[in-house]
Amino acid sequence: MNRFNLSAWALAHRSVVYYLMLAVLVLGIGAYLQLGRNEDPTFTIKTMVVQARWPGATLDDTLHQVTERLERKLQETPHLDYLKSYTKAGESTVFVYLKGSTAPKTVADTWYQVRKKIEDIRLTLPQGVIGPVADDEFGDTYGIIYGFTADGYTNRELRDYVENVRSRLLQVPDVAKVNLIGAQPERIYIEFSPQKLAGYGLTAEALTTALQAQNVVVPSGEIVTDQEGIKLQVSGALKSEKDILAVNFAVGDRIIRLADIAQVRREDANPPDPIFRINGKPGLGLGISMRDGGDVLALGRNVEETIKELRKDLPVGIEPTMIANQPETVSHAIGDFMEALWEAIAIVLVVSILSLGFRAGSVVAISIPLVLAIVFAAMLALGIDLQRISLGALIIALGLLVDDAMITI
């Protein structure tokens, strides 16, 4: 019984072999153009942070009434490896760690189950507890960061313009998230003199109670007829500093306005949240993260074009500045690999032709792009992007490809 001889078959069917070689090259080039490009491989973080606050509570109360209850409920989490908690007066933090063997595609569903458990336990926590809230996105990284500075504009005005830019960037292909960095929350401060309050027979607690009662939202009623129903809405909610100053207090038979006993001002929170600076100037930043499997080079081009269009609509004085540009880093890495590839083919071709002759040397040189074409097609089928790890493996494999081709010849 004759065994199948691949070499003999290839020599007997040269046209078929040429066709297959051409098809493999076309398939490989097409796969290379479709491969995602990133700096590092994507991986699933199997950790979630659950936090709750209880202002005014002691350490023991927070530990026994909040942290321990959260831990008992979170122990029911599927694929759970272990829990780690940190408690201080008025604040509870629980880290949920899943087993390393947990399949990445099941992690999102597991976090959904955790959030359902948090909702189940929320009503059983003591009154005054804020949260708990769950965060499983703290591992997101920003491949592109833009900074915005403003001359002659307030922080609030700058933030409004940057929010408009953020809305436009969210429509760019391959963009997963756009987060605002360095935004300072605003606070309204009410300053009063305790001596002045005492002179009117008021206390700080009475002042707070009156403000809370004024700003409460309650149903005002409804007029129902045979044909229609009309909902009633009574104004009175606090919408500005002037509304706060106009709040009245009843003290005995007298009516006192807040404007007579206190001052109201709107300012950024103090102490501030982390401040974002561009070349020493305070400003705001936009961090752009890419969706899984996206092409960071295409993302960089699309974002740059969008920023150029938006720059025309921004007022004079607001200037966007590139802070971090991951697409440029990835482009250099891929360029280095392609340079190494062509250098390897050229060196092997010259050495092989000088040592083996033109025919044998050409076979050795052609084997490198053919094998890489097959590799690119396999990478596309398996969902492997061009990134730091895969490029390193391909560069190492170049030496093996050359060696194997030489041995075959």
- What confidence tens digit (pLDDT) does each residue in 37-46 have? 777 777 778 8
Task: Please check whether residue 194 lies inside any domain of the structure.
Answer: no
For residue 296, pLDDT beyond 60? yes
Q: What is the pLDDT of residue 405?
A: 63
With respect to residue 275, please indicate whether it lies within any of the assigned structural domains. Answer: yes
pLDDT value at position 386? 81
Residue 125 has pLDDT above 70, yes or no: yes
pLDDT at 83: 92
User: Counting Cβ atoms within 10 Å, is residue 154 exposed (0-12), middle (13-18) or buried (19+)?
Assistant: exposed
Give the pLDDT confidence score for residue 390 in this predicted structure.
Answer: 83
pLDDT of 2:
67
pLDDT of res. 216: 66
Q: Tell me the pLDDT of the chain averaged across its residues.
A: 82
With H, G, I as helix, E, B as strand and everything else as coil, classify residue 232.
coil
Q: What pLDDT shows up at residue 94?
A: 92
- Given the structure tokens 């969902």, which residue do they identify? 383
CATH code (residue 25) = 1.20.1640.10
Tell me: pLDDT of 336 over 90.
no
pLDDT at 175: 86
* pLDDT greater at residue 350 or residue 106: 106
Residues 52 and 20 in one domain: no
Domain of 312 in residue numbering reads as: 144-185+271-327
Q: Do 165 and 277 belong together in one domain? A: yes
Q: Rg for the chain (alpha carbons), in Å?
A: 33
Question: Across the chain, how many H-helices and E-strands are there?
Answer: 13, 15
Asked if 255 and 378 sit in the same domain, the reply is no
| CATH number (domain holding residue 68) | 3.30.70.1430
Report d(CA 256, CA 203) in Å as an integer.
13
Residue 384 lies in a domain: yes
Burial class (CB in 10 A: 0-12, 13-18, 19+), 341: middle
Confidence of residue 217 (pLDDT cuts 50, 70, 90): low
**pLDDT band at residue 159 under the 50/70/90 scheme:** confident
Query: Cα(339)–Cα(265) distance, rounded to whole angstroms?
Result: 61
Q: Do the domain assignments include residue 24?
A: yes
- Same domain (yes/no): 277, 173: yes
Which pLDDT score is estimated for 404? 67
Q: How far apart are CA 59 and CA 214, in angstroms?
A: 34
192: in domain: no
Of 391, 390, 378, 296, the closest CA to residue 28 belongs to 378
Q: What is the pTM of this model?
A: 0.67
| 397 in a structural domain | yes
Residues 95 and 131 in one domain: yes
Are 323 and 335 part of one and the same domain?
no
Quick one: pLDDT band at residue 97, thresholds 50, 70, 90?
very high
More confident residue, 248 or 30: 30
18 within domain boundaries? yes
Q: Are residues 131 and 54 in the same domain?
A: yes
Residue whose structure tokens are 């097409």: 30
Q: Give 256's pLDDT tier (boundaries 50, 70, 90).
A: confident
Residue 218: per-residue pLDDT: 67
Shared domain check, 305 and 160: yes
Q: Structurally, how many domains does the chain consist of?
A: 4
Is 303:288 a contact under the CB 8 Å cutoff? yes
Residues 244 and 376 in one domain: no
Residue 1: pLDDT over 60:
no
d(CA 402, CA 343): 12
Position 369 in a domain: yes
Average pLDDT over residues 237-259: 75
